[in-house]
Structure 1
Amino acid sequence: MIENRSLIVNDLPLEYEVSGPEDGDPVVLLPAQGDWAPLRDALAHERRVYVPDMSSHGGERTAHPSSERMCDELLAFLDALGLERVDLAGRATGGEAAYFVAQAQPWRVARLVLEEVSVIPRRSRQIRPETVDVDCFLAPEERLRPTPDEWDAFRRITAPTLVLAGGPASHVLQERLAALAGRIPDARLTTIPVGHLVHAAAPQEFVRAVVEFLDGLPDGESAELWLAERGVVRTSGGSWTDGESEEGRLTSSEVAHEWAAAAVGDDSLGTERRLRLGFGLVDLLDEYWVTVEIGFAVRGASDPDTACALWNGYRTRLAAPADCEAIVYSLWVDWFEDRDTAETAFTEVLGRDVTQLWPDAPEPLLRRARRVLEASGPVPWQVKAPVYRAATRVPALHEAVFRGILHSHHDVYGDLDPVRALAALDLLDLPEDTEHLAELRSALESGPRP
């Protein structure tokens, strides 16, 4: 049952709908001018669904409230209801308000869904009447391009994020949506090629995509379920069995070699789902061979959905508390040692975050930076030097920078600049007895290798 309620937000009344069980996980929908009733009803079976009417705030209807105002009111709305952490979904200006909230208070958002959102710089908002829907004016002119700082703000979003795009028929710049997904550390891009109003043109696909995302199992659990459906199950001793092998037991390596190619090539799944399944097998097995099959599956692909799913898979695992040797090794030998992919790979897994590397950076970012820096030996010096320089201001990354420089010196692909490397080394606070420190310093002082 849907209830219509009102409460005071910032000293003014705000109307909202609420449905679903009172003890359900809370989700807030911001559909702007869209009709998300099918999504609301689907979620309300198990979730507590809130739909605030931002256009009614204060008793005077505003057809197109600004996303900044909606962000402020949404935070006040959550506070008034005592909602500390919610799933948040929005489209158009509602989506902009949603990502502003996720930037301002990342801990408040468990999962984030953005349908066909605009990425419009604040300066361009100031030259338009608020009664104009900014989506209609998206264009590649310089005045509509977000600044580097505005792009960097998306790095502050910590929630797993689903970016829904409408494809070539949409007037929203699809390359900008792809760039948005690429800048949110844990984002996936899903294209439903029906135009800007995805929820209206493909309601079933839209609802299914959102519900599966919000209700989705961790990738490792999904991979284990996929294997079980094919008769491959884990035994109590940690090995595997398929009921057919002569000895009755399979190692993780044998499972990887037998099933990884089938997983990333499963034609019943979309590209993003196949790659997530592949990375789920990495989580489950920690076997390098799975990453090899992932690499085979994406080589030559140029669509943004594939790139987003690939690099999101690496970023999230590099930031996770648990070690994943297969991911780090794959990053080194498959991507960093390849001259054709080293720059793109390094930029995607860390380079874009260079402005976020400060001593108070979130621990997941520092974990990712630490692992990438230590594996960055083969990356061309001119590509990684700005990140090394930024990392020297973070004491927690000093050892990783040292290891990166050391590996650059020893790696045939390292393309080391001794003068700049020595300057970076001098900025590191390391114990004098650090293994290989003296030898590395001496080698760098001797100049380029013959």
Structure 2
Amino acid sequence: MPTSAPRDSTIAVVGDGFGSLLVHATAMYLGFSPDQLTIYGPSADPVSTYHRHAHNLGQTVLRSESESHFLPADWPTFAQLDAVSHRSLRPLLRSIRRKYNPGVLEILTEARVVAQRLGWEQCRVPTRVGWLQREERPDPHFVLYDERAGYLGRARHVMLALGHGPLSFPAPLARAREDPRVSDRIVQAYEAKRYAPGGRYIVIGAGIASVNEWANALAAGAAVIALRRNPSPDEQDLNVPRCLFEARGIDLFQALPFEDRVRFLGEVLRGTAPRRRGWRETIEEGRRSGRFEELIGEIDAAEAGPAGLRVHVGSEHGPEAGWLDVTGVVAGTGFDRSVLALPLMRRLVEHYELPVHEGRLRLRSNCGVPSLDRPESRLCMMGLAANNVIPHGDTIAGLKYVARRFVGDCARAERLRGRGVLDRFALQLSLGLAAAEAIRPLRPSEQIA
């Protein structure tokens, strides 16, 4: 059962997704007690949003690797859990070659085990935070309010784990979605959808979501036009270069001026996808049967048409495709990355005059919010909003990186005595064994490559 407001806490997390679970698990591991922790958010399941998006994509494995898991310490890795659960060395061998990817069902199962055993739900206040305010007396802290300005409680340290912004559409498609005649024919890759056999669909983008939708549409018996802006999409195992997942790479990235970091992210996050056996086979079969083609360009107009939707495709890289009659359009264009798309952040930016550049908040190197974050009372951000500091910030590994630093700072500020080494070992071992037991009945997921 969730708890209720008002509730004062040492650490508060605004948000109820992956980030909240990783902060909670890390804090419990270091020795904070449940009554010192509060999670704010309406969802009773920390993986529900991700689960919905993965289901809508038809995603079965994560792009992440073995180190991406929800246990507070690094061990056991997910490949080790998988090996123990299914009594097989294959996951370990794949992990050594960097070819292991956790299955969606397995990672969600592990997350729920961690949440249940560490009492995540019992620390959750089931409401959204609409405002937080810095107060100085008697000691520096934050006061939190709900979206109707109702008092929720106080917290010495606050983590803003707000998740992604709204789904993003190219401007011509966003306008066309306002037309009731075609609104249901223009969807985002992360939205629920159903492909009609014999239909003809444009899938925008070259990232992992778009490639996944190519395969989904072809498997359903539809034809696909893969539309992308760049002639040569990149293939990449992870969502950013592997070096940026490591401490040395993160340090070098943080040493760049803020504007250079934003520019660099614009390059590396423009849409990449890993190779996957099943995708390659499905796409090649679609190409041979005349149901898969690729175009370079962008949709600059959309309206109702004889097949349901009529779109105009222009191009800066050669001849234009012109007008095309299609059944629908799927946009693999991700989420709005602007911090101003998050209502709470927009209010904080306006009230405290926080520095924003091209939609990105100029966070400190510890992901602290400028002018509000202090060593004795931290205000920190994680997730996509923090990837101008931690380039893989919206991955499980990146969320864990930020959570560990934040909770460690909180422990030092509070002079936390914490758990002993043996106590931490026992907790981690019990969580690992419980996760392995829960994963055992699941059928191993097919790997990407």
TM-score tier (shorter): under 0.3
Which has more radius of gyration? 1
TM-score by length of 1: 0.21
Higher strand share: 2
The answer to which structure, 1 or 2, has the higher relative contact order (CA under 8 A, 6+ apart) is 2
Higher helix share: 1
TM-score by length of 2: 0.21
